[in-house]
Structure 1
Amino acid sequence: MNEKLLDITFDYFESGNVCPIESPKHFTDLIRSSIISSSELGLGKPEEGKEVNHVYSASQLMEAGVKFKISPNKSLLDLSYSKRDGALSMPILNIDDITEVLFKNMMVYEQCHPSAGDIIRQYVEILDFLINTEKDVDILVNKKIIVNLTGDANKVVTVINNLTSNIPTPEFNSHYFSICNSLNEFYDNPRNKYKAIFIHEYFNTPWKIASTIAAIVLLLLTFIQTVCSILSLF
């Protein structure tokens, strides 16, 4: 376990994370402070929060047309959304056997030190919104946003969902609140929403795709036959 903790420490500093300005109280505070200090968005500062009760999952958003991209920023916290491109950018997240313990420790630290803010909890809550099924995990893995070192998509779902269990939903800072609202607004746009419903109902599995294409072809052939029959009468 100690070797893994050392590996995490070295990974953070080798990847260019900034050392925290204030002296960390212990190892958990060191990791948390390093993540916050490396953020280019200044999200670590406590501010008046806003409630978010729901965000559509990654698979729902993708069916509606949202794009998922890797953020070039080093900090996990640096999520961003482009309304022009309809793209959510997220830094790479490695998930392994100790990810759950590491994040839980940081979230407990935030609960015990309210003045430090709860930015890690907010970040994890957004992950929990996005990840509900293995399909959601597969999307983020295929986009290279999540590196699944466990080798099991279902385990990633369990890890993320366990992180938010028995913990009250945090209020979001203005940046995260804006991202969540923008994602929901994109999906709720009638054109995008019906597109998502259509894809989910008719193109969600290989069998549905095959049957939908067969139905379209049959309909097209029937239409052509009808037209030919009408033209033959003249």
Structure 2
Amino acid sequence: MAGRNIWGLKQLRLQMLCKRGNFEAICRRWSSSTSSQVHGNCKASLLKKLNAKIPEESDNVCVYRVPAKLRQVEAEAYDPSIVSIGPYHRGDRHLKEMEELKLKFFHRVFGSKQEREVELERVISAMEELEPKARSCYADEVKLSRDEFVDMMVIDGCFILQLLREVGSCRSSSSLVQRWMLPTLRRDLIKLENQLPMIVLRELLDVIDDSSQCECSVLSLQDLTLKFFNPLLQRDSHMNAAGATATMSRTCHFLDLFRSSILPEIQDQDRKRQPRMIQSITELTEAGVMLEKSQNDRALDIQSEGRVLKIPPLHIDDHRGTLFRNMVAFEQCHKKCKPDATAYVFFFDGLVNSEGDVEILHYKGIVHHSLGSNKEAANLVNKLCKEVDWDGEESYLHKVVCDDIDVYFMSRYARLRARLVHYYFSNWVVGISTVAGLFALYLTLIQTGCGVADTLEALKENSFWAYLSDSFSLLFSRPSTPIPDPEYSNQE
């Protein structure tokens, strides 16, 4: 009986092993089929993506969305406040009020013409022909139909041209623009995301038959643009813009044009890597660097001659730093332009470490601001570089920072002078204390010298060793009996 039970258990075990083997085989087959299915699905998905048509990068791209890491620092510096130009902010709720004003300017362009329908037809035909090229200027996909895009180019372009004419040359201001609007319009029209390609404006200007005989019919688009935007840096609105004529044909939009107008005239061979940043204004002045206000109207044209640093005046009247933030964002996105505005911003960030640095620059006539305090101006300058990547390659400020100022700053004389000024002449109180201490030391030295002279005179009568032996003998001699005072004795 026991043998049968054992035999039965063996058979049961064999059956379980067979079933287990079948189960494992089934699992292997299922796993293999599942893996094959996943592989096939992945391959099909990747092939679909590989065969999908990806839009090619256009050489015309010049209008970009501001990178998220820059936007998170100061988003309002990149978003338009009152008016939308181009497709990126078209239809934003807070910008709809200005659409009526844009239409009024559009009517002014064609309203005085006898055959405005014919003129409008010419404009539409030109914009339809230009539409593919203009659309390719935007880095992000423009979700507007062909008709909507042409409508946008005509309305926005006519608004801009008429605004430039009325404000820039024909009259000091436009009857349609309220006084508070003009500074805000300047800042809105210079923002990177709020641009209309320059090719659109040039084509519109060529097509529209302007019968006006005022000054605006003579000035070029470049002159009108610079006259309109010059107040952003407090430059003379009647300055001669001929120096930037050569770059006009290569500029992409208003931001690029204004940026080109303030760049220094420097050759590419003068650009080198700038491994170090410049020291603060306080450190430079302590070391003996002399600051001078440059008379050059190109804000980025910083020059140096030995220990003399020449900086064009900088006017800051916007607490967001809109102009420089957008120029830096454009350089970060557009590979065709050199990062000169970025280098300039990092240069000033190195110069300004505290409100005291701003005070020195203001005293020299270099920095002017309307931000309430020097501390706010210093904070604004320091925040301009936040989240901005710059490796110093091809810096146009290499000669200023490395070849001139840094070489002088690292000299033995400069370091000694900086140490003395920092510790002993940092302000007028410390300076007076230092002079008083030096004067007291001088008097002490005179007194010591006179005492030594008297001692030397006495040494002529007796030798030095005689005085020395008398000094030692006093240590071992008994004190002498004091002589009684006669007056004290009489009283007793």
Match of 1:169 in 2: 390
Match of 1:92 in 2: 313
Structure 2 residue runs of 5 or longer lacking an equivalent are 1-80, 82-180, 187-226, 458-492
CA distance in 2: counterparts of 1:94 and 1:167, whole angstroms: 22
Alignment counterpart, residue 69 of structure 1, candidates 283, 292, 303: 292
Counterparts of 1:1-234 in structure 2 under 5 Å? 2-4=181-183, 5-6=185-186, 9-11=229-231, 12=235, 13-17=237-241, 18=244, 20-22=247-249, 24-36=251-263, 39=264, 41-42=265-266, 49-83=272-306, 86-98=307-319, 100-173=321-394, 175-181=396-402, 182-233=404-455, 234=457
Q: Tell me how far 1:74 sits from its aligned partner.
A: 1.2
Structure 1 residues 104-135: Cα deviation after superposition (integer angstroms, max 9, x where no partner)? 01110111112111111011111111111112
Q: Tell me how far 1:29 sits from its aligned partner.
A: 2.4
CA distance in 1: counterparts of 2:315 and 2:240, whole angstroms: 16
Structure with greater contact order relative to length (CA < 8 Å, sep ≥ 6): 1
Q: 1:200 to 1:8 in 2, by over 3 A?
A: farther
Q: Is this contact kept in 1: 2:319–2:371, CA < 8 A?
A: no
Q: 1:170 to 1:3 in 2, by over 3 A?
A: farther
**Percent of aligned positions with the same letter in both sequences?**
28
- TM-score of the two chains, using structure 2 as the length reference: 0.43
Q: Is this contact kept in 2: 1:118–1:170, CA < 8 A?
A: no
**Greater Cα shift, 206-215 or 218-227:** 206-215
Match of 2:15 in 1: none
Q: Is this contact kept in 1: 2:283–2:418, CA < 8 A?
A: yes
Larger Rg: 2
CA distance in 1: counterparts of 2:426 and 2:393, whole angstroms: 33
CA distance in 2: counterparts of 1:65 and 1:151, whole angstroms: 30
Q: 1:46 to 1:33 in 2, by over 3 A?
A: farther
Q: Tell me how far 1:98 sits from its aligned partner.
A: 4.8
**Greater Cα shift, 90-99 or 169-178:** 169-178
Give, as a single letter, the amino acid of the residue that structure 2 aligns with 1:82: E
Q: Is this contact kept in 1: 2:274–2:397, CA < 8 A?
A: no
Q: Is this contact kept in 1: 2:272–2:396, CA < 8 A?
A: no
SS in 2 for 1:164: coil
Match of 2:132 in 1: none
Give, as a single letter, the amino acid of the residue that structure 2 aligns with 1:78: D
Query: Runs in 1 of length 4+ with deviation above 4 angstroms?
Result: 45-49
